Structure 1
Amino acid sequence: MTRRIARSALSATATAALVGSVLTFGAAGQASAAVPDTIPLQITNNSGRSEPVYIYDLGTQLSSGRQGWADSGGTFHAWPAGGNPPTPAPDASIAGPGPGQSTTIRIPKFSGRIYFSYGKKLDFRLTTGGLVQPAVQNPSDPNRDILFSWSEYTLNDAGLWLNSTQVDMFSAPYAVGVKRGNGQVATTGHLKSGGYSAVMNSLKSKSGWSGLVQTRSDGTVLRALSPLYGVETGALPSSVMDDYVNRVWSKYSSQTLTVTPFTDQPNTKYFGRVSGNVMNFTNSSGAVVTSFQKPDAASIFGCHKLLDAPNDQVRGPISRTLCAGYNRSTLLSNPSQPVSSDAGFYQDGVTNQYAKAIHAQMADGRAYAFAFDDVGNHESLVNDGNPQQAYLTLDPLS
């Protein structure tokens, strides 16, 4: 799993490698020690597209730590050794459902991804370090002109965490769901009617942001790159967040930013003040516990570099709170972070327009539009400790 996917992902309890607070969508069922080795995943094709669909279940086998793929029955297959240059990976594709049809496969205890593609199989390669994931921000990536997307999941003895993600790109829309132990079904990830086009049109209308949208030669709007990839490739100006950062820096040179990172620990607070090019955070005793340099757009959109978030109990929680505040542009409007209500998100003229557009078009308002979009429980995640079945629904590009 990539750094951003691991950080955006599923739950801190899902696997020690995943960083994030323990968050669920709706009321989770009780954890069960009897979570089976595989559970059914029903994939429904409501896309309205006529091309064949290909499904992939790729990830890390939690019992062994080995990377590989699962076939339609949930049997694990380890990747063979790769090479330099990368060598073709074995064909791990599973035939997906036709238009209006459903297909059920079984997914094993993985921390991984469910990829799906339309019309053409994805091109996966293996290096000596493991699997090479598609990187469509690279114009020469062999998957650049393929319409595809992926979901993320962890299934382990504590249950299932399954989410939709737009951390790397916003593309072929889909929703995820789980049937809980009590028989109730929870879903998230559906767009509003016309939501796909609305997101793309919103980005095209914002100065500097239209370069994120990628279109195939036949006119198909394939995806919008994340703003991090936009900055890294030059499709989005690297100065796009500078004005907001400068105003934050000015404000907290004379005022205090209070961060209360744990909802279950309201008395754990950290206090930020800017001095020179550094924002220092102190604890309730006045001791400096961590410091941040003035972040750039890449650090903000990627929630890394100058906003690195280690899996600890101090810097990481503060950093993820700051990352959410910068992306949602709430740091100026509220000196107490994080902000739980989304009513004031993305209101500044300088903000993460990509995340703003995506959240505005989600039927339930939930999404993983940046790595720490789970701050305040705004992520598109379903979770249950006793999952009976998982769902992946492919929606229209309209």
Structure 2
Amino acid sequence: MHVKNKVFSLVAAAVTAAAGLTALATAAEAVPATIPLTITNNSGRGDAIYIYNLGTELSTGRQGWADANGGFHPWPAGGNPPTAAPDASIAGPAQGQSKTIQMPKFSGRVYFSYGQKLVFKVTTGGLVQPAVQNPSDPNVNILFNWSEYTLNDSGLWLNSTQVDFVSAPYNVGVRPVSGATKTTGKLKPGGYNAFYNSLRSQSGGWANLIRTRSDGTIVRALAPGHGIEAGALPANVLSDYVNRVWTKYSSSTLTVTPFGNQPNLKYFGRVSGNTMNFTNSAGQVVTSFQKPDSDSIFGCYKLLDAPNDLVRGPISRTLCAGYNRSTLLSNPNQPDANNSGFYQDGVTNQYSKKIHAQMVDGKAYGFAFDDVGAHESLVHDGNPAQAYITLDPFS
């Protein structure tokens, strides 16, 4: 799970998954207090690289940053308006070089920026993250990206995320104590340019998601929810598909089987007026959804809110995946396991479609619940020895 506008949200999925895994697994060798993270610069660019390891210290719940040795530094008390955060940057590797730092037991983000340090501030509620859909954000013209991770006693979860934007390309990996290294998030040769070219040629406002600074450098493509927020993408971009879903399930049933390991647990959706009601096998209504707008679908929130429970949340995340992948009309049994049918409708999440199409393994985090059916760019190991982030070419 990667929840829109929720800081360091990967921990929720990691802790949930870990609870299930550890309940079934035999005791594993203890995960050390830190593991090495090697950042390799294969970008082909000559810019200075700045690394930041920011997050929540899992042993205390405090927010802060880690230095290159994995030492924790809590953020100072912030202000209102926000005050400047301490410089948490770590000098990154030059082109063709690598830099190894220590990754502590955090739920956090590893940021990397090209040519300029990022601007972070601290408010009374904690760290203020960059919000580049806001044209006045101080980081809006900086080329940067981030990877999310959770390292805890049950292992490492490390992702390559496109939930907020597509920008500087990179891939991630984990090498277990025993076994082969697992990697994900790597673009196909030419995939960086192919993504932007495809988005640029897509009608309907999708090209407006691309952001370019004054020197001509593409800095990012905003995710469609942020595009709506910024006025770049029409707010009704998915309305036609939603209307067709509403029509279909006014006279037929949408069946949701939210847990792959519980095939007999099913919920049944039918539309009545502006509401889609879900019943259990006994015919009792267990939750209801109002007709969602495009932003709710892209962000998997608001009218498609997914609380961390065992009923509404799992149904909502399944609906979110079905809307973004446009599989709700083609398959009344969700989630759809066959990715050959994803994004085939003329009205779909074109941004997610295009980034998935350019990945070597077909996996990406194109929207918040792209992990439905395990189509997300995430590596995990319960006994990690080494983590990797590789900065890839802009080609």
Question: Quick one: distance in 2 between partners of 1:183 and 1:275?
Answer: 52
Question: Quick one: distance in 1 between partners of 2:347 and 2:63?
Answer: 40
Partner of 1:26: none
Moved more, 33-42 or 302-311: 33-42
Question: Quick one: distance in 2 between partners of 1:248 and 1:240?
Answer: 15
Question: Quick one: distance in 2 between partners of 1:71 and 1:326?
Answer: 41
Partner of 2:45: 49
Cα-Cα RMSD: 1.9
What is the CA distance between 1:14 and its match in structure 2? 2.6
Partner of 2:341: 344
Correspondence 1:170 to 2:166: yes
- Given that 1:114 and 1:152 are in contact with CA atoms closer than 8 Å, whether structure 2 keeps it comes out as yes
Structure 1 pair 298–230 and aligned structure 2 pair: CA distance change class (3 A): same
> Which digits, 9 at most, give the CA deviation of each residue in 1:215-246, with x for residues without a partner?
01111111000000011111000010000000
- Given that 1:31 and 1:159 are in contact with CA atoms closer than 8 Å, whether structure 2 keeps it comes out as no
Question: Quick one: distance in 1 between partners of 2:234 and 2:41?
Answer: 37
Partner of 2:55: 59
What is the identity, as a one-letter code, of the residue corresponding to 1:77?
H
What is the CA distance between 1:396 and its match in structure 2? 1.0
Question: Quick one: distance in 2 between partners of 1:30 and 1:100?
Answer: 41
Partner of 1:188: 184
Question: Quick one: distance in 2 between partners of 1:21 and 1:275?
Answer: 38
- Given that 1:8 and 1:368 are in contact with CA atoms closer than 8 Å, whether structure 2 keeps it comes out as no
Question: Quick one: distance in 2 between partners of 1:20 and 1:374?
Answer: 15
Question: Quick one: distance in 2 between partners of 1:136 and 1:226?
Answer: 11
Correspondence 1:242 to 2:239: yes
3-state DSSP class of the match of 1:197?
A: helix
Correspondence 1:323 to 2:320: yes
What is the CA distance between 1:199 and its match in structure 2? 1.1
3-state DSSP class of the match of 2:145?
A: strand
What is the identity, as a one-letter code, of the residue corresponding to 1:192?
K
What is the CA distance between 1:10 and its match in structure 2? 3.7
What is the identity, as a one-letter code, of the residue corresponding to 1:101?
Q
Question: Quick one: distance in 2 between partners of 1:60 and 1:145?
Answer: 27
- Given that 2:2 and 2:163 are in contact with CA atoms closer than 8 Å, whether structure 1 keeps it comes out as no
What is the identity, as a one-letter code, of the residue corresponding to 1:216?
R
3-state DSSP class of the match of 2:370?
A: coil
- Given that 1:58 and 1:70 are in contact with CA atoms closer than 8 Å, whether structure 2 keeps it comes out as yes
Question: Quick one: distance in 2 between partners of 1:112 and 1:179?
Answer: 19
What is the CA distance between 1:22 and its match in structure 2? 7.3
Partner of 1:126: 122
- Given that 2:2 and 2:10 are in contact with CA atoms closer than 8 Å, whether structure 1 keeps it comes out as no
Structure 1 pair 227–356 and aligned structure 2 pair: CA distance change class (3 A): same
Correspondence 1:94 to 2:90: yes
What is the identity, as a one-letter code, of the residue corresponding to 1:260?
T
What is the identity, as a one-letter code, of the residue corresponding to 2:196?
M
Question: Quick one: distance in 2 between partners of 1:236 and 1:176?
Answer: 30
Partner of 2:69: 73
Question: Quick one: distance in 2 between partners of 1:55 and 1:132?
Answer: 17
Greater than 4 Å deviation, 4+ residue runs: 5-9, 19-23
Partner of 2:15: 15
- Given that 2:10 and 2:107 are in contact with CA atoms closer than 8 Å, whether structure 1 keeps it comes out as no
What is the identity, as a one-letter code, of the residue corresponding to 1:173?
P
Structure 1 pair 316–2 and aligned structure 2 pair: CA distance change class (3 A): closer
Correspondence 1:277 to 2:282: no
Correspondence 1:372 to 2:369: yes
3-state DSSP class of the match of 1:224?
A: strand
> Which digits, 9 at most, give the CA deviation of each residue in 1:79-123, with x for residues without a partner?
001111111100000000000100000010000000000000000
- Given that 2:3 and 2:9 are in contact with CA atoms closer than 8 Å, whether structure 1 keeps it comes out as no
Question: Quick one: distance in 2 between partners of 1:33 and 1:232?
Answer: 46
Partner of 2:359: 362
Question: Quick one: distance in 1 between partners of 2:27 and 2:298?
Answer: 34
1:253 to 250, 253, 257: 250
Give ranges in structure 1 of 5+ residues lacking alignment: 24-28
Structure 1 pair 95–142 and aligned structure 2 pair: CA distance change class (3 A): same
- Given that 2:3 and 2:368 are in contact with CA atoms closer than 8 Å, whether structure 1 keeps it comes out as no
3-state DSSP class of the match of 1:15?
A: helix
- Given that 1:83 and 1:126 are in contact with CA atoms closer than 8 Å, whether structure 2 keeps it comes out as yes
Structure 1 pair 7–335 and aligned structure 2 pair: CA distance change class (3 A): farther
What is the CA distance between 1:193 and its match in structure 2? 1.0
Question: Quick one: distance in 1 between partners of 2:382 and 2:260?
Answer: 21
What is the CA distance between 1:209 and its match in structure 2? 0.6
Correspondence 1:35 to 2:4: no
- Given that 1:8 and 1:20 are in contact with CA atoms closer than 8 Å, whether structure 2 keeps it comes out as no
Give ranges in structure 2 of 5+ residues lacking alignment: none
1:382 to 367, 379, 385: 379
What is the identity, as a one-letter code, of the residue corresponding to 2:64?
G
What is the CA distance between 1:183 and its match in structure 2? 3.6
